[in-house]
Amino acid sequence: MARIALVTGGSRGIGAAISKALKDDGYTVAATYAGNDEAASKFSEETGIKTYKWNVADYNESKAGIAKVESELGPIEVVVANAGITRDAPFHRMTPEQWNEVIDTNLTGVFNTIHPIWPGMRERKFGRVIVISSINGQKGQFAQVNYAATKAGDLGIVKSLAQEGARAGITANAICPGYIATEMVMAVPEKVRESIIGQIPAGRLGEPEEIARCVVFLASDDAGFINGSTISANGAQFFA
Ligand code: NDP
């Protein structure tokens, strides 16, 4: 029987590549999204992957959405907490709304995604939790105090979950992508993009598929002893 995988924010960008790679590897995939119905239905038509709409920032919506996925597809064995947003501003201009929106989606959203799935994983003695963090959670970033706080928080979440889940056959790991060629990054002016690329020793942006392949590996049985780890996929963009 195919394992069931849930990918939040799985209809666009890095999440879409993750959903497709897991499907190609034999998983039955549920991809969630927040509100972009057009992108989600196009993605679903092209890939045959089922999409579900809920706001990861809302615990009750997440719990109900996860219950629906499990009733339609079966118990979730792999969860990829990928949904994320940015609301950038230098700290002196960052509003409490910008802070809260990013914390609610990127950090509380990870709790809301994993928490309803965790008891089932413990009972079945198997689970793979993969959180998409960011290089900016490792090194900080100008105008991203909110975002960097959430992405650093992800690393604390997986390290703690790893210790709680290890005896129950559950692993929890994070991936920290560097700059990846998603719509968001491709939309920045070419000059800015060139200067970003200039800071990447590999001399190029990463591809969403390169992050997706890390997810497929961490989800596999072969990765069973990798727990509480962080995979950095950033083209050698080292940091202090
Ligand atoms: P995109 O903006 O391309 O896609 C974001 C996805 O998340 C969409 O499917 C979106 O749904 C969904 N989403 C956003 N907010 C919510 C919410 N509140 N509830 C449910 N779903 C939501 O993002 P990327 O592919 O660029 O990024 C994916 C992850 O990778 C993020 O966590 C990001 O922080 C991280 N990352 C990205 C990097 C990059 O270079 N792009 C670098 C490092 C990390 P909808 O389509 O409805 O809007």
- What domains, with CATH codes, occur in the chain? 4-180+208-228 (3.40.50.720)
> Which ligand 1 atom minimizes the distance to the CA of 180?
40
Is 147 an annotated catalytic residue? yes
Q: Return the pLDDT at 54.
A: 98
Closest CA to 212 of 27, 1, 3: 27
Closest CA to 110 of 87, 126, 133, 128: 133
Q: Return the pLDDT at 69.
A: 98
* Euclidean distance between CA atoms 156 and 163, whole angstroms: 11
Strand partners, 171: 128
Q: Return the pLDDT at 36.
A: 96
Q: Return the pLDDT at 71.
A: 98
What is the 34 CA–ligand 1 centroid distance (Å)?
10
CB of residue 65 inside a 6 A radius of ligand 1: no
Query: HSE of 83 in the Cβ direction (CA atoms, 13 Å)?
Result: 34
Q: Return the pLDDT at 198.
A: 95
Please give the DSSP secondary-structure letter assigned to residue 164. H
**Contact call for residues 111 and 38 (beta carbons, < 8 A):** no
Q: Return the pLDDT at 186.
A: 83
Helix and strand counts by DSSP (H, E) for the chain? 11, 7
Task: Find the angle CA(91)-CA(97)-CA(99) to the nearest 5 degrees.
Answer: 45
Q: Return the pLDDT at 184.
A: 76
What is the 86 CA–ligand 1 centroid distance (Å)?
9
* Strands of the sheet with 127-132, listed across from one edge: 50-53, 28-33, 4-7, 76-81, 127-132, 170-177, 230-233
What is the 25 CA–ligand 1 centroid distance (Å)?
22
Of 27, 52, 147, 179, which one is the catalytic site residue? 147
Element (H, E) at 31: strand 28-33
CB of residue 87 inside a 6 A radius of ligand 1: no
> Which ligand 1 atom minimizes the distance to the CA of 40?
46
Task: Name residues of the chain where pLDDT drops below 70.
Answer: 239-240
Q: Return the pLDDT at 192.
A: 87
